[in-house]
Structures are given as C-alpha cells and as structure tokens.
Amino acid sequence: MAFILLPLIELMTAPSFAMLKETIKDKDVVRSIWLSIYTAGLAALISFVFGTPLAYVLARTDFRGKKLVESIIDLPIVIPHPVVGIAILSVAGKNHWIGELFNQVGIRIMGSVTGIVVVLTFVGMPFYINAVKNGFESISPRLEKVSRSLGASMFSTFFRITFPLAWRSMLVGIVMCSARAISEFGAVVIVAYHPMIAPVLIYERFEAYGLKYSQPVAVWLVFICLTLFLILRILTLHDREKA
C-alpha cells in the first residue's frame, strides 16, 4: 500500500495550489484531459459491444484452439506499447491494402481521434473480455437451461437471465478497460502526437519545460480519474446493497 501511495502522494503534493489553478485554466490541458476521457470511454463502449458476445462464447463453449484464441486476446497486454503503435501504423499506411482502403474512404488513423480510439480499444479490450468472461463463467449454465426449457428464446434468456446476473462484471470490465486506455502512452504517441491526449501532453510538457510544468497536469489527470472510478465503484456497491 505504501509502495503505491508514497510516489503518488509526493506527486499530488508537489505542485502548489496556484500552479494547479493556473494549469486547469490552460485550454490545452482541459482539452487533452477531456480527449483522454472520451476516447477511453469510446474504447470501453466498443469493447462492450464487440467484446461481450466474444466473452460469452468463450465462457460457454469449448472448442479446439480455444486456448489459442484466449492467448491471442491476451496478446495486447504483453506486447510492448510502442510495438502496438507501430503495428497499427503499418496496417494503416498506404503500403497496406487496408490502409489504402481507409485512405480512399477518407478515414485517417495517423494523428486522428479515430487512431487514438483504435489504439485504446486494442490495448483495453483484453481487460474487458477477461473480466466479463469470468463473470459469465460464474453464472451457472443451468439457470440458462431452465429458462430455455421454459420456452424463452436464446436472446431473451440472455437479456432476462444472464445479463442481469453479469452486468456487474461488465461494469468492472468497462472500468478496467477504460482505466487501461486512459493510462496508455507508448502506443498513442506513435500513432497520434497531435491531437494530444493527457499522457502525451504530460510527456510534451516534461520534455519541453521540465518536471515542474508536467506535474500539475498529471495531478489533474490522476484526480479526475480517481473521482470517475470512485463514482463507478460507489454506483456498483450501492446496487449490491439494495439487492
């Protein structure tokens, strides 16, 4: 606990109150923190839409090569971040047919919000899938079978039985996924330096002006993220007490 808290407390207390106030008035700072939050949110949303069915399939079925599929899903966690950025860029470039296709329909990955969301989804998705898969696995398939045997369709079984039981793990998955996405730096800085998300801005401030001017931005990011996650946790806890 002290190991986590000590450097963070040091960071939080280093900048003066005046500095913090000045920093949050800086439009670049506000814009980058907002961009960070909303790209991470989008990444979590995409993970929710595409990751949930995949997690369900992985939790409920057994097939040859399942271990391989699961390892592939975990890959983005272990690959060094800059490598992720380079990999995405090499697909997005004109030298690759997908990049050429994107180019023709006018989608730009390099230096765009689209690119940032792609990267954040790439690194965040595994956390979502793993959390939700665990959630599904903890629900007994018997409940679903009973529902089916009573005549409910597969969809209504999912929405009336599985979803109400698993939504908490989905929320955890979304928190994990967006938390991972907000903290991403290495891959984003390769795909998009501008527009700047908060970690990139912190890096730029550190390189150009030094520690003194990067710290307040970092403090604000930590503070805002902490508040957001706290709210999410309280929401889930609140419901649990009611239930």
To the nearest whole angstrom, how small is the minimum distance from the Cβ of residue 188 to another protein? Answer: 12
For the bound state, the minimum distance from the C-beta of residue 108 to another protein, rounded and expressed in Å, comes to 8
Which residues contact another protein by CB under 8 A? 26, 28, 86, 89-90, 92-96, 99, 109-112, 189-190, 192-195, 203-205, 207-209, 212-213
Q: What angle do CA 164, 169, 171 make, to 5 degrees?
A: 90
Contact in structure between 69 and 58 (CB atoms under 8 Å) = yes
Q: What are phi and psi of 184, to 5 degrees?
A: -70, 135
Cβ of residue 27: shortest distance to another protein, in angstroms?
Answer: 11
Q: Residue 73, Cα to own-chain centre: how many angstroms?
A: 14
- Least distance from another protein to the Cβ atom of residue 212, Å: 8
- The DSSP line for 131-198 is HHHHHHHTS-HHHHHHHHHTT--HHHHIIIIIHHHHHHHHHHHHHHHHHHHHH--HHHHHH-SSSPPH
Q: Quick check: 20 and 216 in contact, CB under 8 A?
A: yes
- 54-85 as b/e: b if 16+ CB within 10 A: bbbebbeeeeeeeeeeeeebeebeeeebeebb
Q: Which is nearer to another protein, 141 or 210 (CB)?
A: 210
Which CB, 98 or 234, lies closer to another protein?
98
Between 76 and 99, CB nearer to another protein: 99
Nearest residue (CB) to another protein, 94 versus 242: 94
Residue 88 CB, nearest distance to another protein (Å)? 10
Cβ closest to another protein, residue 50 vs residue 206: 206
> Structure tokens of 145?
């079978």
For residue 74, CA distances in Å to 59, 63, 124, 125 come to: 15, 18, 10, 9
Shortest gap between Cβ of 111 and another protein (angstroms)?
A: 3
Q: Please identify, using beta-carbon distances, which residue of 84 and 109 lies nearer to another protein.
A: 109
d(CA 222, CA 15): 13
Look at the chain and count its residues. 243
Closest approach of Cβ 193 to another protein, in Å? 5
Residue with Cβ nearer another protein (56 or 213): 213
